[in-house]
């Protein structure tokens, strides 16, 4: 249940051109940067929706109520209980009135004027969505991460950017905040996230977009600054929430079964799934002991559910260390000896 405890700002008279959805949870320390960047992107036809997901460790909500006054056409919506990033984004989507929608995590920020360039790109190409590059920020280091599609500034078929299996493609670049999305995708049920997913929520989301949308483009814009390695990020916390990636990838495979090209696409999805399992297994020392045991149990069960032939294809291009680890997890010592 969502309670609109307090809302700031007024709706614009006509439908906004763009709705910017900003989930916030325990990000008080970074909020000033985020808000300042939104002020530098504000236009009369843009609206900004902050979703405060019941922060537990700081005064994010109180600071947000104060700081968001600087952002024109902004609202603050607060959950009654913490519900996770996927549901926070859905709350923002439900409240959004714009012709286009975009996302920004509450601890990241934007270059001045970036949102206007996003809108210009999607209107120029007249596509369902546009994806962009981003700048990864780790401490004082900044690196541009390019979306893994070489064809730029031209309308493309989203399905054509799912394969090949053994190379990075657009479904391996799931960041919801690296793009802009036409409202018609929401009307088709393609913008909402699976409620309750606390990590990997963007994996089934990006697969659904690329399987079902009609058109998209990639723009060489570098205006999103994405913080890595901060202690409040879920990717840095080894608790049970991390295991939601299992549910996320199970959703990808479940939804693929009704796809007319399921046999072609399934090995790619399984390879993604296996790569994430291998990553977590290689870093399981950062998990709490009980969570690490649960990780092994769920991973083994997931691997045993995968069709043998598809799994064989998916693992063929992986390095020996990861391949052996996944075989051991699936089949125990019998798999290791094989």
Mean pLDDT of 272-279: 95
Distant-in-sequence, close-in-space partners of 245: CB < 8 Å, separation ≥ 6: 199, 200, 203, 276, 280
DSSP symbol at 156: B
pLDDT band at 331 (very low <50, low <70, confident <90, very high): confident
Mean pLDDT of 98-121: 98
Domain boundary among 235, 261, 279: 235
Amino acid 230: pLDDT: 65
> What CATH number is associated with residue 193?
3.90.550.10
The answer, yes or no, to whether residue 1 has pLDDT greater than 90, is no
Q: What does the pLDDT look like over 218-238, one tens digit per residue?
A: 999 999 999 997 655 555 456
Clarify whether residues 318 and 276 are in a common domain. yes
Clarify whether residues 142 and 290 are in a common domain. no
For residue 172, the SS3 value is helix
Amino acid 327: pLDDT: 87
Most confident of 111-120, 289-298, 314-323: 111-120
Beta bridge partners of 20: 48, 102
Mean pLDDT of 205-228: 98
Clarify whether residues 69 and 35 are in a common domain. yes
Clarify whether residues 15 and 112 are in a common domain. yes
What domain count does the chain have?
2
Query: 287 burial class (0-12, 13-18, 19+ CB within 10 angstroms)?
Result: buried
Q: Which range of residues forms the domain containing residue 120? A: 2-235
The answer, yes or no, to whether residue 34 has pLDDT greater than 90, is yes
* pLDDT more than 90, % of the chain: 82
Q: How many other CB atoms are there within 10 angstroms of residue 93's CB atom?
A: 20
Domain boundary among 235, 263, 281: 235
Domain boundary among 181, 210, 235: 235
What's the CA gap between 131 and 218, in Å, rounded?
Answer: 5
Q: How many other CB atoms are there within 10 angstroms of residue 195's CB atom?
A: 13
Q: What does the pLDDT look like over 237-253, one tens digit per residue?
A: 567 889 999 999 999 99
**Whether 109 contacts 33, CB under 8 Å:** yes
């Amino acid at each position: 249940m969502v309670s609109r405890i307090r809302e700031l700002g007024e709706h614009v008279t006509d439908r906004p051109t763009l709705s910017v959805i900003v989930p916030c949870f325990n990000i008080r320390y970074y909020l000033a940067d985020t808000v300042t960047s939104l002020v530098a992107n504000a236009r009369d036809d843009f609206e900004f929706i902050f979703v405060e997901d019941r922060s537990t460790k700081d005064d994010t909500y109180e600071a947000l109520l104060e700081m968001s006054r600087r952002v024109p056409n902004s609202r603050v919506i607060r959950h009654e209980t913490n519900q996770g990033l996927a549901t926070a984004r859905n709350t923002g989507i439900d409240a959004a009135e714009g012709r286009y929608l975009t996302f920004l995590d509450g601890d990241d920020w934007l270059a001045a004027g970036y949102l206007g360039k996003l809108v210009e790109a999607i209107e120029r190409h007249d596509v369902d969505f546009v994806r962009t590059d981003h700048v990864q920020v780790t401490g004082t280091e900044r690196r541009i991460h390019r979306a893994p599609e070489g064809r730029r500034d031209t309308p493309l078929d989203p399905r054509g950017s799912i394969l090949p299996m053994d190379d990075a493609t657009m479904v391996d670049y799931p960041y919801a905040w690296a793009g802009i999305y036409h409202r018609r995708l929401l009307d088709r049920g393609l913008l909402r996230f699976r409620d309750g997913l606390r990590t990997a929520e963007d994996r089934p989301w990006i697969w659904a977009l690329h399987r079902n949308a009609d058109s998209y483009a990639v723009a060489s814009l570098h205006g999103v600054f994405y913080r890595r390695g901060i202690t409040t990020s879920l990717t840095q916390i080894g608790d049970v929430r991390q295991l939601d990636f299992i549910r996320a990838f199970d959703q990808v495979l479940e939804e693929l079964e009704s796809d007319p090209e399921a046999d072609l696409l399934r090995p790619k999805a399984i390879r993604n799934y296996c790569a994430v399992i291998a990553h977590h297994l290689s870093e399981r020392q950062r998990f709490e002991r009980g969570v690490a045991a649960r990780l092994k149990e769920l991973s083994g069960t997931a691997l045993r559910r995968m069709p043998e032939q598809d799994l064989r294809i998916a693992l063929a291009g992986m390095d020996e260390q990861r391949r052996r680890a996944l075989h051991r997890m699936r089949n125990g010592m019998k798999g290791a000896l094989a």
